[in-house]
């Protein structure tokens, strides 16, 4: 690839207890693009974001952001790197004891010495960008799920980061707020020239905004390509996932002993 890469993941291995979550994952996130990571539930997509953010340690392999190995940085250097990253959590993860305004102001207050008037201007600009300037006095408990995520987005871009990580931005949203979020992610990305990593299993929404897509399954990258190439991919597993077929290479049934013997003898349950 010719474009410069912001995030490089190489040979990533990670396991939890008995379970292997990643067995050698390689990913490349080019600068200024939206890269989507997709896969069935339980494939560790969120875990991957936490590995990229340096919150989890891999068993093997490396994650490099702007050339720096995230897991070899000191605690202080890691925190400095994270100021250049924004992350949007599935739940929004707003601070429940602060108002909407203070939530968005939080990164500005802790990382800059800007005067109060300027903080106010920046916060209102960011809230305006997500359409919630009018809600700046509300507490997080007074917001709907979609609004929470938009405020969280405003907070994530408060410091104008280089990289933004979206964790399942569309999950549990009604069609309208899904549409709003898709539009927001796209415009925020274009307006600020951000690099974005979107983790999701909402096919339609994700394919509509992504420049490049990685599909992860069984701890490995199963397929990758642009949305248009994935749509016509002939691999059975990719097709099942992209087109949402209930049964296929990923079986409908959890592994179980033979149905007949299980019912008739009751032996299998003990």
Partner 1 sequence: MSRERGGRRWRPRNPLVRQVVALGRGTLNVIDALGRAGMFLFLSCVGIPSREGWRLWLRQMHFVGVMSLAIVLVSGLFIGMVLALQGYTILVDFGAEDALGQMVALSLLRELAPVVAALLFAGRAGSALTAEIGLMKATEQLTSMEMIGVDPLRRVIAPRLWAGFVSLPLLTIGFSVVGIWGGYLVGVKWLGVFEGSYWSNMQDSVGFVTDIGNGLIKSLVFALVVTWIAVFQGYDLVPTSEGISRATTRTVVYASLAILGLDFVLTAIMFGEIG
Residues that bind partner 1 (CB under 8 A): 14-18, 21, 50, 53-59, 75, 79-80, 82-83, 85-87, 89-91, 93-96, 106-107, 109-111, 152, 155
CB nearer to partner 1: give 132 or 203: 132
Nearest distance, CB of residue 59 and partner 1, angstroms:
5
List of residues 6+ apart from 16 with CB closer than 8 A: none
- Tell me the C-alpha distance between 227 and 232, whole Å: 9
Nearest distance, CB of residue 57 and partner 1, angstroms:
5
Nearest distance, CB of residue 259 and partner 1, angstroms:
29
Nearest distance, CB of residue 192 and partner 1, angstroms:
17
CB nearer to partner 1: give 144 or 261: 144
List of residues 6+ apart from 197 with CB closer than 8 A: 7, 29, 35, 36, 37, 49, 52, 163, 164, 165, 166
CB nearer to partner 1: give 97 or 247: 97
Q: From start to end of 126-168, where are the E strands? A: 163-167
For residue 157, give Cα distances in angstroms to 164, 174, 207: 8, 24, 23
Nearest distance, CB of residue 106 and partner 1, angstroms:
7
- Tell me the C-alpha distance between 232 and 147, whole Å: 35
73 conformational bin, left if phi > 0, alpha if psi -120 to 50, beta if neither: beta
- Tokens 């005067």 belong to 115
> What phi and psi values does residue 131 have, to the nearest 5 degrees?
80, 20
């Amino acid at each position: 690839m010719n474009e410069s890469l912001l995030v490089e993941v190489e040979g990533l291995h990670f396991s939890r207890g008995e379970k292997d979550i990643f067995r050698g994952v390689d990913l490349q996130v080019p600068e200024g693009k939206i890269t989507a990571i997709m896969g069935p539930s339980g494939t560790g997509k969120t875990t991957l974001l936490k590995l990229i953010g340096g919150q989890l340690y891999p068993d093997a392999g490396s994650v490099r952001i702007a050339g720096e190995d995230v897991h070899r940085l000191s605690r202080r250097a890691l925190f400095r790197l994270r100021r250049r990253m924004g992350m949007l959590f599935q739940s929004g993860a707003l601070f429940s004891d602060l108002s909407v305004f203070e939530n968005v102001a939080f990164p500005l207050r802790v990382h800059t010495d800007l005067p109060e008037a300027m903080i106010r201007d920046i916060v209102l600009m960011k809230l305006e960008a997500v359409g919630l300037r009018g809600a700046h006095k509300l507490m997080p408990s007074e917001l709907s799920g979609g609004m929470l995520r938009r405020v969280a987005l405003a907070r994530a871009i408060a410091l104008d980061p280089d990289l933004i990580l979206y964790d399942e931005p569309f999950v549990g949203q009604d069609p309208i707020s899904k549409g709003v979020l898709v539009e927001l992610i796209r415009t925020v990305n274009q307006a600020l020239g951000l690099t974005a990593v979107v983790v999701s299993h909402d096919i339609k929404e994700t394919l509509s905004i992504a420049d490049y897509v990685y599909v992860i399954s069984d701890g490995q990258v199963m397929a990758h390509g642009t949305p248009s190439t994935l749509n016509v991919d002939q691999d059975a597993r990719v097709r099942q996932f992209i087109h949402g077929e209930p049964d296929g290479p990923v079986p409908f049934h959890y592994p179980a002993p033979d149905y007949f013997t299980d019912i008739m003898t009751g032996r299998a349950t003990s």
